[in-house]
Amino acid sequence: MYTINNFILFGGIMTTPVTSSLAVAHSAASVESMLKGKQVIVYAPITGNPPHLGHLNVAAEAAKTARKVGAVVCKVFLGLASQDYLEQKEASDRLKLTREQRIQMLYLTIEYAKTLNLFPEGVEVSYCGMEGSRAHVGQYREIQKENAGWTVVLTAGADLQQRMRNWERQENFIAFIQNRGKDIGIKGPNRIVLEESKEFSNVSSTKIREAILAGKHPSGIGPLAADYLKKLVPLPFQFQTLQTLFSDYEQLLAEIARRFPALECSTIDLSVTADPNFGDLVVPVAILERSLTPKLENLPKVFNLANTVSINRSYPDPKDDIQFQVNEKKYTCYRPNHNGTHSYRQVRYLEVLLDFISKNGRQEAKTFCEKLTEEQQVNLRLAAFFLRAGRADESSGPETRDQMKLRSFELYQHYASGMGINPQIIEETKDLILHNCNPNYELDYKDRSQWNPKAFLQTLFTLAHEIDLVRCFPKFEIRTKPSLVENLSGWVLDAKTNAEIVASRLQEIGIEANTLVGQQVQVSQKPYDLPRFYVHSTYGEYCRYRLSKLEFSIDSLSSSPSAASPAKSPQSKPTPKKESCILM
């Protein structure tokens, strides 16, 4: 406990902040006489779940107002409510920080407030550490007891002050009351009423918790405190947390639907290439708004619409659907091996590869990626999303591959055209989709000493596809990993980067991404987690958001003194002619 002489200004900040304007004074002359010439310390108890700039602003404005009436303010102490009080106050479906976490958040927010010059010059601001199991009035009495002769002044929201009638019975009671536009708690002796701050009026602990759980950047706490809070919830809205908060599966689905709502749009039926096994096929597609131009910020909405309208639906023969029950209610997972979660994962893998190339890529690959326009970046992600969207079932093999890829292109083409992507880019992307992972298609690949942009893009798409094969092949390391190494070598990585190490990390990334969404992972013998898989399959934006939060760094595993040399083909082809490729 601290020992300070003279006077304490007690600031109970439980609601929204105030400004420094001295709006109303009841018995102002007596209040000023009690404060004038006194050395004053502002004491501000808060719940702090979490602390924020609004809390600190109340204390700061109380200190400024006390100075206006002649007090000498030298220190501001912030206190936190007990953990018992917090447990009782917050609803069970909200994020509750521990005492230690609230203390750390308070320190970080205080430091940020100092950079904003929030407090009057010469005022020291710190955490007092007085919280305990006793109520705020009990703390008030203890302060008086341990500091005989001091006058303790409360600063609180008007609604809170009205609920705390026994404050008025305390000896030498003075209140700084925040005016929230309500004529409650502000009438009576020894009160100074403070106006609400416009700058911090929208800052609240509730809104900060909601933002962090929704994966948004919280305002009102500063960057360091925001980063700290994000680490406390490293995967906001992670499935395990939802299962804990909502033991009923229907409630869980309703909460995700509320946070990540399905989008409404007009639709049409698109006639696509017929299938040898199922004949003529029609796929519903969304009609995109004109505002959905080829900007990266518009892709989540387009993906969400495409997943909801075109992908998350049964094949012509529903035999591949997987059904499961929760509390006797049936749910269906469509296209289990190639649904929207597969599309979202391939886009995420492409993003990982592009980011890694910017640091460890072959120089020509780095330059290529650096020169990509935003429209071209949007197009590559869109093509990756639809790479296997044209499947008609899960079992057909090479005999229907060409038709499947044509349908994939037709779906891509509809959405790319809807976004207004350059028709020439769309036409050149057709080659990428139709010949992806096709061993019989040659693009002058073999002589890797000569830069070939088409071959590079085909390699990127092949890698994005192969990474996700961890869900299909128990013997992935024998069947697929060698291809990863070969495709990484030469076209993608620089000579100093070990393709074996990178391939191993990409395999881990594939396992992490599939496990996250509840997909089966054959390479690690993990079965479907169907309740989880249904959620990520049905709510595309939730799936995209969750995958975007996974850390996919492979920098620390990439370099090796004994790095593998670029792979050489057994037979080299003549130097390919330089092609004009708008995809560049």
pLDDT tens digits, one per residue of 24-72: 344 455 677 777 877 777 777 788 889 999 888 888 888 888 888 888 8
Contact predicate 337/518, CB 8 Å = no
Complete DSSP assignment for 156-186:
EEHHHHHH-GGGGGSTT-EEEEEE-S--SS-
Secondary structure class of 21 (helix, strand, coil): strand
Q: Which residue has the higher pLDDT, 538 or 36?
A: 538
pLDDT of residue 570: 33
pLDDT of residue 574: 33
Residue 490 confidence class, pLDDT cut points 50, 70, 90: confident
Complete DSSP assignment for 249-298:
HHHHHHHHHHHSPPPP--EEEEEEEEETTTEEEEEEEE---TT--S-GGG
Q: From residue 509, how far is each of 456, 467, 539, 548, 557 by CA, in Å?
A: 21, 8, 22, 12, 13
Complete DSSP assignment for 47-101:
--SS--HHHHHHHHHHHHHHHHTT-EEEEEEEEE--HHHHHHHS-TTS----HHH
pLDDT at 116 over 60: yes
Complete DSSP assignment for 310-333:
IISS--SSGGG-EEEEETTEEEEE
pLDDT of residue 558: 44
Residue 164 confidence class, pLDDT cut points 50, 70, 90: low
Secondary structure class of 44 (helix, strand, coil): strand
pLDDT of residue 51: 92
DSSP state of 576: P
What are 212-241's pLDDT values in tens digits? 776 677 888 988 888 888 777 644 455 666
**β-pair partners for 179:** 195
3-state DSSP percent of the chain in helix, strand and coil, to 5: 45, 15, 40
**What is the rounded end-to-end Cα distance, in angstroms, of the chain?**
67
The whole-angstrom separation of Cα 48 and Cα 13 is 9
Q: Which residue has the higher pLDDT, 95 or 71?
A: 71
pLDDT of residue 28: 52
Match 């004109």 to its residue by tokens: 290
Q: Which residue has the higher pLDDT, 491 or 168?
A: 491
Contact predicate 504/225, CB 8 Å = no
Contact predicate 528/519, CB 8 Å = yes
Residue 133 confidence class, pLDDT cut points 50, 70, 90: very low
pLDDT of residue 160: 55
What are 281-308's pLDDT values in tens digits? 999 999 999 999 999 999 999 999 999 9
List domains and CATH numbers for the chain: 7-232 (3.40.50.620), 267-289+297-557 (no CATH)
Contact predicate 218/212, CB 8 Å = yes
CA angle 229, 231, 233 (to 5 degrees): 80
Residue 97 confidence class, pLDDT cut points 50, 70, 90: confident
What are 74-86's pLDDT values in tens digits? 888 788 888 887 7
Q: What is the mean pLDDT of the chain?
A: 80
Average pLDDT over residues 528-543: 95
Secondary structure class of 493 (helix, strand, coil): strand
